[in-house]
Amino acid sequence: MEANTGKVSEAAVGTGVLLLGLALAAGAWVVPSAAGYGGVGPNFLPWVVAIGLAACGGMILREALTGGFRDRDEPDGSPQAWWPGLAWITAGLLANAALITRIGFILACTACYLLAVQGLRRAAGQAAARPASLLADLATGLLIAAPVYWLFTRFLGLSLPGLTHTGWL
């Protein structure tokens, strides 16, 4: 009975990912496709993500229907969720939403990354509040957010909130 329940839940995960990919494709369908500065339009990335999600969902579903997930490790970690970690991640998302128009995309996303990683580090039992960890997380957040901002604003020609009007911050 336990193995059958596992296969049903695995098939449900695959179906959910596949449906999410199809829903994103439906959304990408209505985004204008007029080519921008780099020769690609604003619907390019949504289509890439939609196709990737649908492909992953299809592979997960195929795996679940042909015998279930094989050769997987037993789950490790706590059997219970650690709710303070969820609170840290939620705080990061809410901070991003609240600050993005005030301090710009790069700094708001860096703050989101910093808070989310703090929640994950604390959930894993790591010493998250150490200055070295905070500085590394801050630098990593900047190294992720800045190129994403520049990719969207410079390459795709989309406008994202910036800290200055130069287009670089």
Encoded amino acid at 72, one letter: R
Closest CA to 144 of 103, 97, 99, 111: 111
Structure tokens at 15: 């179906």
CA–CA dist 160, 107 (Å, integer): 12
- In tens, the pLDDT along 95-140 reads 999 998 889 889 999 999 999 999 988 888 888 788 988 999 999 9
Where are the domains positioned within the chain? 2-65, 83-155
Residue 152 pLDDT grade (very low, low, confident, very high; cuts 50, 70, 90) = confident
Q: Is the pLDDT of residue 35 over 70?
A: no
In percent, how much of the chain has pLDDT > 70? 89
| DSSP 8-state assignment for residue 155 | I
DSSP state of 1: -
Give this prediction's pTM.
0.60
pLDDT of residue 1: 44
**Dihedral (Cα; 75, 76, 81, 84), 10-degree rounding:** -150
Output the pLDDT for position 161.
Answer: 77
Q: Which of 93, 103, 109, 112 is nearest to 162 (CA)?
A: 103
pLDDT of residue 70: 77
Share of the chain above pLDDT 90, in %: 44
Q: What is the pLDDT of residue 31?
A: 80
